[in-house]
A and B are shown apart, each in its own frame.
Chain A
Amino acid sequence: MNEPPIADKFAAFEELIPPLDDLNTPYREALSRGELILQQCQSCTSYQYPFESFCYECGSNLLEHKVSRGQGFIYSFVKVHQPYHSAFKPFIPYTVATIQLDDGPRLLSAMLDLTTEVKIGDRVKPRIEKITASESMLMYELERS
């Protein structure tokens, strides 16, 4: 199987990748396989992100990794015009959205290369792009695109 090429415009995100640790390694390995995983509590069934050694809802340590389809909707968003970091410069103005996942957690995500205006309530799905040989980045795009 051929590795998909890493687009130049995404390689610059490498320096923003946080260091690996015990908690985020499985998440990052899954992303590099093209999958989004969340933690699911085996005591209360809730899903969570970011990862922890305990359940935020009930405190249980019975957590398992579950693949999530990652779909949800835009709860709010902004369109950033300021070049805060060079990696995002080619995308300015770019959208950052608060995504309300169908599985429960909320997360922040970049929405890059949008060709239409987005609005609150729009359905979205994950877009996973390779940024190094072993690391990928989670972004979001409109479900209809």
Chain B
Amino acid sequence: MKNLKQKYCIVGVGNTAYGKNPGISQIAHNVLAIRSALEDAGLTTQDLDGVLTKAPTSTFPMLWGPKIAEALRIQPKVTATLDQAGASNIGLIQYAISAIELGQAEVIAISYGDNPRTGTRASYARPRGDDALAGLFGAPSSYAMVAKRHMHEYGTTNEQLANVAIAHRTHASMNPGAQFQELFTVDDYMSSRWVAEPFRLLDCCPVSDGGAAYIITTEEKAKELKKLPVYIEGIGQAHPSWDFYRRPELATSGAKIAGKMAFKSAGLRPADIDFCEIYDCFTIVPLISLEEYGFVDKGEGGSFYEEQRTHIGGELPCNTSGGLLSETGMPGTQLVVEAVRQLRGEGQDRQVKGAEVGLVSQQGGIMTTHATMLLSNQGIHK
């Protein structure tokens, strides 16, 4: 993040309980997550002068930022809701940095909260794209179309997809906060029911209630606070399409361009990364993401997972808290929270030893939006 007046840090993270959480409204998930992140940082609502948010997936409310701010009983100088689906969680950090650089704010909260598990989830089964008559409803079918193309071009197998889900479940088994912690085998995966071939049930993330939040401020302010600052080293984004099937190469994603942008702004290379938290709403996504970032050659993502190289203790631990597939199906805010915990050494049983630099990969739509962020605990550019 060169050419900025100062460095920026994540100084507090928080979340509400993931999974089935009846009686907690969408607003409550946001407010409680923000209050928990403020407490983590040693700050109060009175320190906040910005509230940025991604709208809930299950409904699309207007003026969501001001509504959350009012529920926190604050009158912020900056609010925004960003519409990049799952990629918004990083895009909002970029917005926060801009607002602080412009002198509009000093401490900004970013949050997401929704209750599709116990509330309405009608939006989850809506047709994808323009044409319901084509029979494509729900996100699994669309991502499965991407997976099928990847299998055709590179020979990726269901056994390899199973190993993505198993890796993340293995990490979730070490995370007492994860929605699903029970281990399963490739055989269990192969006997789970088809949803939309080539996807079985265990290729798909669960529908989850939950909220997560983080607090962004300057390095100067961060140094006054109680937790080890986590530095935002680089951010990139890319948005290849809207209707996923019009993307010329379906088995690719915005991770390639967003990743290059993030690595360039951080002055880092893939070899510098100690762990990744990758948006994994479906098993095919992290597999393609690792290829697009250049951690493996195109087409080698499946064997990388099959050889268990993404397990904690392996060469590139990924999704250390279980990811969307096992920790919570929420659209990605929790991945930033987990990356911060890892970089502070708060990973407990699932801690990646010596973690200094982490990559967070977020995407939305049907791999139609993408954002990448690199975080460190060292202030590399000092």
Contacts and interface: CB of A to CB of B under 8 A. Distances in A.
Interface of A: 13, 16-18, 50, 75-82, 84-85, 88, 91, 93-94, 96, 98, 106-110, 120, 137-138
B148 to A, nearest CB: 5
A16 B133 contact: yes
A96 B198 CA distance: 12
A18 B194 contact: no
A138 B163 CA distance: 38
7 contacts: A18-B130, A75-B149, A77-B145, A82-B138, A107-B134, A108-B134, A108-B245
Contact of A50 (B130, B140, B199): B130
Contacts of B144: 78
Contacts, number: 89
B133 to A, nearest CB: 5
Of A50, A88, A108, A110, most B-chain CB atoms within 10 Å = A108
Nearest to B153: A120
A93 B135 contact: no
Nearest to B136: A96
Which DSSP category, helix, strand, loop or mixed, fits chain A's interface? strand
B135 A98 contact: no
Interface of B: 125, 129-138, 140-141, 144-146, 148-149, 152, 193-199, 245-246, 250
A50 B193 CA distance: 34
A50 B245 CA distance: 13
A25 to B, nearest CB: 16
Contacts of A82: 137-138, 140-141, 195-196
Contacts of A98: 145, 245, 250
Contact of A81 (B125, B129, B145, B193): B193
B133 A76 contact: no
A120 B199 CA distance: 17
A108 B246 CA distance: 10
A127 to B, nearest CB: 13
A112 B125 CA distance: 20
A76 B146 contact: yes
Nearest to B193: A81
B365 to A, nearest CB: 15
